[in-house]
Amino acid sequence: MSSINGFEILETSPEYFWFIAVLAVLAVSISKAGFGGAMGSFSVPILIFVLPPKLALGVLLPLFLVTDVWVVYMWKSMLDKRILLIMCAFGVIGEIVGWLLFDYLNDQILTGMIGLIAIITAFNYAFRRIRPGNQTSVEIATSVSQRIFQRGAIWCGLSGISSFVSLSGGIPAQVFLLPHALARQSFVGTLCVYFFVINIVKVPFYAEIGIFSEATLTVSLWLLIVIPLGVFIGKWLNTHISDQIFTILAI
């Protein structure tokens, strides 16, 4: 380990640390502003190149919240309230489960879980590209609407757990939401408000288990200046790319 102004980092130079940290914040802000937030799951895997996982969570959550406030303001009028309520209910339950399990997770287990989530997501996407199935998008949307509570319990519950332990709740949340075939603005608005709610909920739990410190909050403060650039890029991409490219990037 080495340090920057007393902040413990993995063996690397200060320049490399700040470069990686800026990339992580751009992943969060571009994703939340333009695609609903799931690509923000890249942020923790990026930042654990230079920080232990629990420190990475402490640095990133305040930045998630600041970005959430901004993007919720942009997209608050474009959401599906029924779907949002179901997502939030099961997501918060999942976070409580994540809080109960967190004391049993060391840095090695957290790193492994983050990597495993990424690998499963990649293979799942590749499989669906190779074997897309015979149902139309309308048929899929009808089917998932009929099973919305069962799917919400599974995927949004998992979203809450993975959001708490690794800020990667966007992956199962999008698995839940994408088949509903919402318009892109409604899709982004629903995800933005969902993430804002579950990120607010986890603050007291993170404080209780000691995730935040003066050092993590200081680094978060320095990285705030990156957020406006990421939000601008994300909003521009959302309004200037085709629906097909948007769906590919979101997935």
The reported pLDDT for the residue numbered 23 is: 93
Tell me what pLDDT residue 54 has: 83
Q: What is the pTM of this model?
A: 0.78
The answer for 131, left when phi > 0, alpha when psi is -120 to 50, beta otherwise, is beta
- Tell the burial category of 140 from Cβ atoms under 10 Å away from its Cβ (0-12, 13-18, 19+): middle
Task: Please state the φ and ψ torsions of residue 48, each to the nearest 5 degrees.
Answer: -75, 0
Instruction: Record the tokens describing residue 164, joined without a space.
Output: 């708490």
Asked if 188 contacts 36 with a C-beta cutoff of 8 angstroms, the reply is yes
Q: Give the H/E segment covering residue 8.
A: strand 7-9
Whether 174 contacts 36, CB under 8 Å: yes
Name residues of the chain where pLDDT drops below 70.
Answer: 1-12, 36-39, 107, 110-111, 114, 117-118, 121, 125, 132-142, 250-251
pLDDT at 207: 92
Quick count: other Cβ atoms within 10 Å of Cβ 37? 28
Query: What value, to the nearest 5°, has the Cα angle with vertex 216 and ends 209 and 172?
Result: 65
Domain boundary assignment for the chain: 2-250
Q: What is the pLDDT of residue 139?
A: 60
